[in-house]
Structures are given as structure tokens and as C-alpha cells.
Structure 1
């Protein structure tokens, strides 16, 4: 997970938005539209970042396709300290 977090947040463009998405989902589960609104980021950009975060097991989804909510995974929660370390380095 540590390598994935460094890659997703520091090693590629969009790391800042991904960190903001993680922080927003830490507050409460949200769907893609809610994330786009609260972060003032284009919906398609949010979808791209959600796909990347899901692919690396940082987030997971639940619910039907239209109102699908996103949550932080248990695996991410076990590695929260690494996330904080990466944030400090950003």
C-alpha cells in the first residue's frame, strides 16, 4: 500500500486531487457527483481519479450504479500512517 500511495499522490499528475478525494471520503461516504461538487472538480476528472484509487485498493464502492457511494477500504485504514507521511512530503 505504501508504494501505491506514493505513486498515486506524488508520482503522477493529479495527486493533489486524489488526496482531496481521500480526505473528503474520510469525512463521509460520497458519490462521484457529490465529490465533484464539494471539491469543485469536473465530474469526469473525479471519475478518473476514483477509478485509479479503486484500482489500487484505496477506495471501494457500494450501492447501485447511479448512486454508487465510495468508501475508504479497510486496507487503506490499516495504512493510514503511510498516507499521512506521504501528505507531509507533498
Structure 2
């Protein structure tokens, strides 16, 4: 199994593991803090052919998704937001209403998802709708796989 450097050596480090409940083996290990998607994986590194259903997710993308979804307390809410905007682009207020979450909580999660280039604002105005980025659209299977492994709470 390959390992990738996700942290700055100058930062305080804390390591954690995500394990597969069926086999009791480590599936994924991360040294925190995890930096945003552009800092870890340079733009243009991914190469995809076809749709997300036909190709398997890039392992580095999958690792970042694991860290954002399964590696944090709010990961389940982030996954719900990704699933929601996959169908229809929505603004933060509508997301908060549909998911029955506080507006500030949604704003927090949306900022993290946008920083990691999983969603993008359609426009810069107040009330702008969020939608999935192309790379997230092409890798929906990775999100579904993660959600199956961690379950929903």
C-alpha cells in the first residue's frame, strides 16, 4: 500500500486510522492536520476517461474524500450535503432546511467542501447555489463506498 504525505512537517501532527469493521484491518491512515485538496494534489494530476460509473476513483482523490467524510465528526453531514446538491444545485439556506441543520453549520461544511474543491458556488452573489465539481461528479462511486463503510448516524 502506498502512503502519501498529507501534512507539513512543521505542523503539530496527530495520526489516526480508519479501520474496516469486517476485517479489523487499517483501511486508511492520516496524519492530521489534513490540508486542503489543492495543497495535497496538484491540479491536473487526475486523468479520467468516461463517467464515474465506468472508471474507478483515483486513489489520491479517494484518500482526501475519506479524510473529509470519515475522518471528522461532521463528515456525515458533508456527505449528506454532497448527495443533496448532486441532484439539484441549492443555496445554503435551502440545504439547511432540507437537512434540518442550522444555517451556520451548513455554511461551515460548505466552506470545507468548497476549499477542497468538491463543490463550487454557481455565482458569487448572496444566495448563490452550490453544485458538485466535475471531479466529484466523476467520483460519486467513491462517496457511496465510503458511506456504505461508515454508515449513517
Q: Tell me the TM-score range normalised by the shorter chain.
A: over 0.9
Q: Tell me if 1:13 matches 2:69.
A: no
Match of 1:58 among 104, 118, 124: 118
C-alpha separation in 2, matches of 1:9 and 1:62: 23
| Structure 2: runs of 5+ lacking an equivalent | 1-60
Q: Give the 3-state SS of the residue equivalent to 1:57 in structure 2.
A: coil
Q: Give the 3-state SS of the residue equivalent to 2:120 in structure 1.
A: strand
Counterparts of 1:9-88 in structure 2, within 5 Å, are: 9-88=69-148
The higher radius of gyration belongs to: 2
1:54 shift after superposition: 0.7
Answer 1 or 2: higher relative contact order, Cα 8 Å, separation at least 6: 1
| Structure 1: runs of 5+ lacking an equivalent | none
What RMSD in Å do the two structures reach over aligned CA positions? 1.0
C-alpha separation in 2, matches of 1:64 and 1:74: 19
Moved over 3 A (4+): none
Q: Please, what TM-score do these two structures have when normalized by structure 1?
A: 0.94
C-alpha separation in 2, matches of 1:26 and 1:77: 8
C-alpha separation in 2, matches of 1:17 and 1:38: 12
In terms of fraction of residues, the more helix-rich structure is: 1
Aligned length: 90
